[in-house]
């Protein structure tokens, strides 16, 4: 019974088998890194995926590239808010405590900052500096999203470069040319992966 409870609580994460003090340190490290990234998530949590991947895959080796990309893809395919991928990453690293650490780290700082800045912005809506700041954020957010897209395409670029490049280009063209749901390119990618064309 204890083994079952341990598995339900911890899952199969990389932190699950560490000792008590090491586990607490790892969870605190996870929370603090995601809290720091939260303050940079100007265009949403997805814009910080590159930082999350660097920490979880390259620095700590708690996840592989494939696990990271799979967690993001699974969460993005599920209905609900865009930030769900953070919970899936946390689960893969440390089970339920990982979910709590990653979600709290992602949501708390950015929410407090958003409320504070939102109130300040409402008071100074017409200020020239605020308008310039808002105008400057658009290219920054676009750059962060492109970096995230590049990062998520890496696992398939190595083995299926041409098919992946075509899929990305076709999806981008579809989204720019139509007002249709982004679920159509996602579905096309799922079919292509199921057919073995890439993935």
Q: What confidence tens digit (pLDDT) does each residue in 14-41 have?
A: 776 666 778 889 999 999 999 999 988 7
Phi, psi of 10 (to 5 degrees): -95, -20
Nearest alpha-carbon partner for 76 in 46, 55, 100:
46
pLDDT band at 69 (very low <50, low <70, confident <90, very high): confident
Q: Using alpha carbons, select from 171, 84, 147 the residue that is nearest to residue 92.
A: 84
pLDDT, average across residues 146-163: 73
> In this predicted structure, what is the pLDDT of residue 1?
46
Least confident range of 73-77, 90-94, 143-147 = 143-147
> pTM surpassing 0.75?
no
The torsion defined by the Cα of 175, 176, 180 and 185, in degrees rounded to 10, comes to -20
Tally the residues of the chain: 199
Q: Worst-scoring range by mean pLDDT, 54-63, 141-150, 184-193?
A: 141-150
Of 9, 13, 17, 144, give the one whose Cα is nearest residue 67.
Answer: 13
pLDDT for the residue numbered 192 = 77
2-11, 45-54, 67-76, 145-154: lowest mean pLDDT where? Answer: 2-11
Mean pLDDT for the stretch of residues 98-117: 90
**pLDDT score of 56 more than 60:** yes
More confident residue, 178 or 133: 178
Residue-level pLDDT at 4: 47
């Amino acid at each position: 019974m204890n083994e079952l409870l341990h598995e339900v609580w911890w899952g199969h994460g990389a932190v699950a088998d560490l000792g008590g003090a090491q586990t607490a340190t790892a969870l605190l490290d996870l929370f603090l890194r995601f809290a720091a990234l939260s303050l940079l998530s100007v265009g949403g949590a997805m814009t910080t995926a590159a930082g999350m991947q660097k920490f979880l895959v390259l620095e700590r080796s708690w996840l592989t590239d494939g696990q990271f990309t799979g967690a993001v893809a699974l969460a993005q395919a599920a209905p609900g808010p865009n930030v769900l991928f953070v919970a899936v990453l946390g689960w893969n690293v440390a089970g339920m405590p990982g979910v709590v650490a990653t979600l709290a780290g992602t949501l708390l700082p950015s929410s407090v900052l958003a409320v504070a800045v939102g109130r300040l912005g409402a008071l100074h809506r017409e200020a020239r500096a605020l308008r310039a700041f808002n105008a400057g954020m658009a290219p920054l957010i676009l750059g962060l999203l492109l970096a995230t897209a590049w990062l998520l395409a890496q696992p398939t670029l190595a083995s299926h470069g041409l098919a992946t490049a075509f899929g990305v280009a076709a999806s981008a063209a579809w989204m720019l040319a139509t007002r249709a749901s982004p679920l159509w390119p996602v579905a096309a990618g799922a079919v292509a992966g199921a057919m073995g064309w890439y993935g």
